[in-house]
Structure 1
């Protein structure tokens, strides 16, 4: 009788009488593990955004004239800015499989538009419409990706899993960079636009990515090696009205306000780097080679930062602060090198294109361009790690990831128009450098206020506006 009363008392206190879940161990072939699902989303991004990045990294979408790519990418990122923010809500309503499938369909359509433009260069309508549709699809895909990457791994291994994803994803861009390099190599140093075969090859790989999205499992079926489910959430169900309200609340969340400038700047530099460094300085075949190494450098940058964020110190907050400091030192050095390089062609004119066979003449700009790629991966990996350390709630993380990608894409939309309007290149460089520099103290403040060392203290909900960190932030910036 005493045992029965104890069980009743435990149930009344909200405690389960069932034993805790048993560790499952590290089974590499277990498909419902975070490792398998994060690897799968890496493969999907290998085939879809990876190929898109490889094509875009050529400058002008592989075209000699940047105008059509500038307009298409402006439409893309303008739509991405909206649907990125709501993408987290869409993911919470539809689940990862359907969200990813709908988003993936827009990628091969975008490449098909540039293939069509190769034969109808007087009409930009198809590329611009395809760019807008890709913005919608990319908002869906990247919100789901962010939720999977930040909520599925255990908190003490998020940096490692982010690095794993980034390496698989970037390797897609590496191989994607080999496509135009191999298919256009024999065209010599005078070719201006890529051939039809390049676009067809990109589309074929993207269609594989579309098929892979059908393999994803719902979050509640993902089980970590310790037996815990990955779908930790403060609510058992959600609705369109609830998600709309939660998305609106993000714009008043102090965490997201601190993320605004870093998110805006984290893709703003792509236009400058792709169009006004790679496409302006190098021959077509060398641009393809640079693309390969640019994305390869991303793998190294993400691996190094991931190790630092997971294994460098016992204190999670200290790891985050050191990560920001390392990123700040490297960022200052690399963009300083970019400034010195830009002084060589302040007027934006570079008549004698550099080929990879040019030896010393090629070495300096090549190292700079690769360093840009390494810094990009470090920047985005750092932001994802910080977002993942703010909460354990998988639904909240979906919205955080969507907000980040939405703001990031709005910034990218502006950057493509900055290039379209022929803004002086030195001005573009200074704006990019300034955005990165302002991000350093903001990310450090977010780590200091929002990242806790004890994972049991991390909120599983956004209903923590009255906690100590909010009070501390209010006293710092002067409002309550």
Structure 2
């Protein structure tokens, strides 16, 4: 018979059960807390943020490169595309000067987000002309706006990528970013290949442009998922120092001060200038000129896949701890020198077989089933390897010259501005109908000149250090 004489005693939980429930709750709270801490540590890790930064460029410039890599932006007429690229790079070179103050006002997240909008607009312009060919002027206008947006995007990207890494991580961080960035081109090329695999036409359909537009719009939202760099700590325990960009006048003064304090950066200017020059010949004078759309799409896919392997391979070489900094620099330089001559001697034997006039008179293009295709697609793979190795080495050389974020911001400013000026010039030359051979030879000569001009900087500026040391050469 139950005792109801003391209701409180009758209905109160047993002490052992109370303690058990309390212990379970405490363990649950502890597990949740540890899980939350682990997620926060992962989120604020510099590698995680470099990956997210890579995906921002995956959806923007990466997909733009995939579209551009089809030759003519996927169109039969390459002239409009060439002129749009000229406008894009010209506005990019000019408005990059004003991107710093805008970035200071808006912050890195919103700056990246605005930068991606221009790439979505560019795809929308190509979709519009695919539906209504009379709207080609939209492509030119979109190219100009995209240039302004590109200045914003790359201003934030360059400083973030170099500020996140410790001295010993510079090469691998560049490699991680470059691989993810180029993965955007791989995915974009895969979309194009899937959409056009059964087509033997010479231009893409609107489904390809719609797919690209959806992906670029997804990319607009990615910066909102990124952490504030002021709350982050690098892997060596030091805080991420993300510098404020100067005003236009201060930026110009800062560029002059950088040149005065470290004039050896000027020996890299020719490498900067040619770093986007070769795209014109590869995309319009080779891929678009010789192949039908499904072959162009497959070429584009393997080209950007090769870039991933090229970037990781050269990054691994440049981060070899067994070698001194100067030996790493010479090793990278030697690889580039060999690749430049392998690619361009090989390419010369193809280029001498055709001209603008012969291409215009021959509407039938090379298909993936043609015997002539095999050697030419392997050549294009080597073009992709060279591109990635060149860009990664240029970033590494800038990083090894200084570990100061403000100085690196100026270096990146020089790089993107001079790169864009060179690209604007060669795309305009293509739009004006300069011969294929002249553009090919100019590419070869400028690449070699860039390597030769870099020799004094490597010899005088990159110091021999203890091979076990991972400290950067001094900034003196």
Query: What is the TM-score when the length of structure 1 is the normalising length?
Result: 0.84
Matches of 1:242 and 1:80, distance apart in 2: 19
Residues 94 and 442 from structure 1, CA distance in 2 versus in 1: closer, same or farther, beyond 3 angstroms?
A: farther
The match for 2:187 is 175
Do the aligned partners of residues 85 and 440 (structure 1) sit closer, same or farther apart at CA in structure 2, a change above 3 Å counting?
farther
Partner residue in 1 for 2:84: 72
- Aligned to 1:336, what secondary structure does the other structure show? helix
> Residues 123-202 of structure 1 correspond to what in structure 2 (within 5 A)?
123-186=135-198, 188-189=199-200, 191-202=201-212
CA contact (8 A) 2:101 2:245 kept: no
Would you say how many aligned residue pairs link Structure 1 and Structure 2? 432
Q: Deviations over 1:216-272 (max 9, x none)?
A: 333332211221112176xx9965653342145456552332122111101011111
Q: Which of 246, 270, 279 in structure 1 is aligned with 2:279? A: 270
Distance 1:258 1:198 in 2: 42
Of 113-122 and 346-355, deviating more is 346-355
Relative distance call for 1:90 and 1:318 in structure 2 (3 A) is: farther
Matched, 1:443 2:454: yes
Cα 1:155/1:90, change in 2 over 3 Å: farther
| Superposed displacement of residue 119, structure 1 | 2.7
Structure 1: segments with no counterpart, 5+ residues? 1-25, 461-466, 468-480
Inter-CA distance 179–263: structure 2 relative to 1 (3 Å threshold): same
State the alpha-carbon separation in 1 of the partners of residues 184 and 133 from structure 2: 28
Partner of 2:71: 59
Separation of aligned partners in 1, 2:412 and 2:326: 20
In the TM superposition, what is the alpha-carbon distance from 1:37 to its structure 2 partner? 1.2
Write the mapping of 1:78-477 to structure 2, written as runs, cut at 5 A: 78-87=90-99, 90-91=102-103, 94-186=106-198, 188-189=199-200, 191-231=201-241, 241-250=249-258, 254-311=263-320, 313-346=322-355, 349-350=358-359, 351=362, 352-358=364-370, 360-452=371-463, 453=465, 458-459=473-474, 467=476
The CA deviation string for residues 318-361 of structure 1, in whole angstroms up to 9 with x for no partner, is 10111111111111111111111111214652434111112x31
Give the direction of change, closer, same or farther, for the CA distance of 1:240–1:330 in structure 2 (3 Å limit): closer
CA contact (8 A) 1:106 1:137 kept: yes
CA distance in 2, matches of 1:240, 1:455: 35
* 1:287-327 superposed Cα distances (whole Å, 9 cap, x missing partner): 00111000000011111100000016331121011111111
- Give the whole-Å Cα distance in 1 for the aligned partners of 2:264 and 2:157: 20
Structure 2 counterpart SS, 1:160: helix
The separation in 2 between residues aligned to 1:446 and 1:220, in whole angstroms, is 33
Seen in structure 2, the aligned counterparts of structure 1 residues 37 and 374 have a Cα distance that, compared at 3 Å, is same
Q: TM-score, normalised by structure 2?
A: 0.85
Contact 1:232 1:392 in 2 (8 A): no
Compared with structure 1, are the counterparts of its residues 238 and 146 closer, same or farther at alpha carbon in structure 2 (3 Å cutoff)? Answer: closer
Q: 1:232 to 1:279 in 2, by over 3 A?
A: closer
Distance (Å, rounded) in 1 between the aligned partners of 2:175 and 2:354: 36
Mark the structure with the bigger radius of gyration.
2
Task: Note the C-alpha offset of 1:92.
Answer: 5.3
User: In the aligned structure 2, how far is the partner of 1:158 from the partner of 1:28?
Assistant: 24
Q: Work out whether residues 86 and 402 of structure 1, in 8 Å CA contact, stay in contact via their aligned partners in 2.
A: no
Higher mean C-alpha displacement, 391-400 vs 423-432 = 391-400
Aligned-pair distance for 1:88? 5.0
Given that 2:355 and 2:436 are in contact with CA atoms closer than 8 Å, whether structure 1 keeps it comes out as yes
- Corresponding residue of 2:55: 43
